Amino acid sequence: MSVSFISLGSGSNGNSTLVRVADTLILIDAGFSARIISQRLFDAGVDPEQISAILVSHEHSDHVKGIAVLARKYHIPVWLTRGSFSRLKDQNIPKVEFIHPHGSFCIGDAKITPFPIPHDAAEPCQYIISDGVKRFAIATDMGCVTPYVHQQLSGVDALLLEANYDHTMLQNGSYPYSLRTRIDGRYGHLSNDQSAALAARLEHPGLQKLFLGHLSENNNTPQSAFESVANRLQRGGDDVAVLKRAALGDWFALS
Ligand SMILES: [Zn+2]
Ligand SMILES: [Zn+2]
């Protein structure tokens, strides 16, 4: 089998990632409008009708904006924790599958391992998707790196990692103190430096590529995120890529 994925956009204003395992297509989060996501799916060569499931990480609007409309329009089941579902503004979803953040499950050819993340949402989790051999992980919306998160991410073959803010830009920027404290806190987001430290700990010969995502529009730049992380790693910058905030990326196939 095989694992490949493409970002439909990743940033503080919207996140969505399409993962393919053999013939199974899974959308992780749908934080743009259904119209935008449908268009990007078509641009990626995928008819939304083909998608087997939408997995939800948590209820913040940059992850769920298009979910209910997509689920209704294309009859896609939505998988999420009870906590996340309880906070959805639009709960009119024809088929909901509840998951436990510590319980692995399968959808078609995909083996999915959720793991809880420290974030200010009801019951947030992120996901590792595997074909049984190769593993792709998403790790965004984390205020800090818990030992359990570190353990789960160890040995993955490709990683989409949050690099939300440049610490100096956040502290010197226009955000009010309360919002700065939330972003910087243990249930907020990872800074470029935190992301770099985690990437350095996770680096191993099998890590094929590191994608940096969920960048803040106001408190980060792609260059700052890239340099913070790439400079900490033992390898060339070709192995690190910064995802576009509001546009389709490129397919990446794990080898
Ligand atoms: Zn969030
Ligand atoms: Zn988010």
Distance 26 CA to ligand 2 centre (A): 19
Question: Which CATH number does the domain housing residue 233 bear?
Answer: 3.60.15.10
Tokens representing 127? 């996901």
Q: Is residue 100 part of a domain?
A: yes
Q: What is the mean pLDDT of each run of 10 residues along the chain (255 residues)?
A: 96 97 98 98 98 98 98 98 98 98 98 98 98 98 98 98 97 94 96 98 96 97 97 90 97 97
DSSP helix, strand, coil percent of the chain (3-state; round to 5): 30, 30, 45
Count the domains in the chain. 1
CB 14 within 8 A of CB 35: no
Residue 255 lies inside a defined structural domain of this protein: no
Q: Reduce the DSSP state of residue 11 to 3 states and report it.
A: strand
Q: Is residue 138 part of a domain?
A: yes
Range of the domain at 131: 3-244
Integer Cα distance of 33 and 110 in angstroms: 26
- Cβ atoms of 184 and 156 within 8 Å: the answer is no
Which bound ligand lies closest to the C-alpha atom of 63?
2
CA 79 / ligand 1 centre spacing (Å): 17
| Distance of CA 62 from the midpoint of ligand 2 (Å) | 5
| pLDDT value at residue 111 | 98
| Close Cβ partners of 223 (under 8 Å, ≥ 6 residues apart) | none
Burial 148-175 (b: 16+ CB within 10 A, else e): ebeebbeebbbbbbbbbbbbebbeeeeb
Q: What is the pLDDT of residue 158?
A: 98
* Distance of CA 236 from the midpoint of ligand 1 (Å): 31
In a domain, 62, yes or no: yes
- Global pTM reads 0.97
Q: Determine, yes or no, domain membership for 227.
A: yes
